[in-house]
Amino acid sequence: MYTFLHQDAHSNARRGRLHTAHGTVELPAFMPVGTLGTVKGVEIRQLEQTGAEIILGNTYHLSLRPGEEVVRALGGLHPFTGWQGPILTDSGGFQIFSLAKMMRLDEEGALFRSHIDGSTIHLTPERAIKIQETLGSDIAMVLDHVVALPNERKVLEEAMLRSVRWAKRSFAASRAMRNHGQQIFAIVQGGLDVELRRQCAEALAEMDFPGYAVGGLSVGETPHEMYDTLDVTVPYLPKEKPRYLMGVGRPIDILNGIERGIDMFDCVMPTRNGRNAQAFTERGTLRLRNAQYQRDDRPLEETCPCPACKRSRGYLRHLFMAGEMLGPILLTIHNLTYYQRLVAGARAAIEKDQFTAFKREYEERIRQNHHEDAPES
């Protein structure tokens, strides 16, 4: 259930709360990615200390290993992982895009060949909902058809219409299962096509899902193309429901999404980049393998409370150069803390009707320090 609290006076940025069976999430929010039931290298207590309130798991990967029935036998995702807060599970739709060479698609669903042992898994809209119900997540995503961008309009339209049909089947399956408080979110597709996005959003809104996601972005388009797509999609999403931008992204992308009325985000960037010696800071991205940090006795950020910032940049660089596992762990924790501080700052700015200035100040700091957001590694 979503509670609207306030909209910024100068933008579409909004402040709200998402209520789930395992707690309330302050919105806008960033969800760390825990694909296999763990945010890589981060223990639960450390994850809580970053400020995270909700995490993400993946239906496809968890169904392969250890298997949803194993997770259920061990109490469901919350006891299994030790995370007691809300959990959102993706449906496996992104794997239709990312594992296309190992997948065969038809109207019924997607047939995958396991990258682990070569066995097959047939993921249908009903099966995806059933797996998520068995896992026991708080929010389950419908199975959708994700395609690369740019693409032909015919391909985009077919994928969008299939996603709508699959959403209807997913909704019916969830109603039949009576998922004990699990909320089902629909996913808007349509590529960069204005009319397809509108058509998809309106069709899904009629089904009255508890929440709505914008999918099929960050798959090859430019940032400005993504922003333009949000501009024409978000107005057709129900105002009284949470809005989730899937798989995005860079800090500046998150701020641009919030400005356009998005409430929820997830991305592997803070964790993956952290494992590759890239630290997000208020003044841009630091690449700690660079020799300039060898004798640098400053913390990553003076104001950051994370354990990485209790050490020097020189020490953190040493950990990476020496191949010590503590380096990726500390930098992952720092980056996750940075992302949570970013969305917390956005929430405070919205409450004061100052979000536009908050975003402008961020952009100006990045420009002045000549650092760009790091790409995914």
Residues designated as active site = 90, 266
SS (H, E, C) 135-196: HCCCEEECCCCCCCCCCCHHHHHHHHHHHHHHHHHHHHHHHHHCCCCCEEEEEECCCCCHHH
SS (H, E, C) 163-176: HHHHHHHHHHHHHH
Q: DSSP state, 104?
A: E
Cα 313 → chain centroid: 28
Q: Would you tell me how many other CB atoms lie within 10 Å of the CB of residue 360?
A: 12
Query: What one-letter code names the amino acid at 280?
Result: F
Q: Would you tell me how many other CB atoms lie within 10 Å of the CB of residue 45?
A: 8
Tokens coding 305: 């409370």
Percentages helix, strand, coil for the chain (3-state, rounded to 5) are: 45, 20, 35
CA 25/CA 17 separation, integer angstroms: 6
Q: Is the dihedral of CA 269, 101, 227, 348 positive or negative?
A: negative
Closest to 217 measured CA to CA, from 187, 185, 195, 239: 187
CA 349/CA 357 separation, integer angstroms: 8
Q: Would you tell me how many other CB atoms lie within 10 Å of the CB of residue 278?
A: 22
Closest to 231 measured CA to CA, from 186, 192, 189: 192
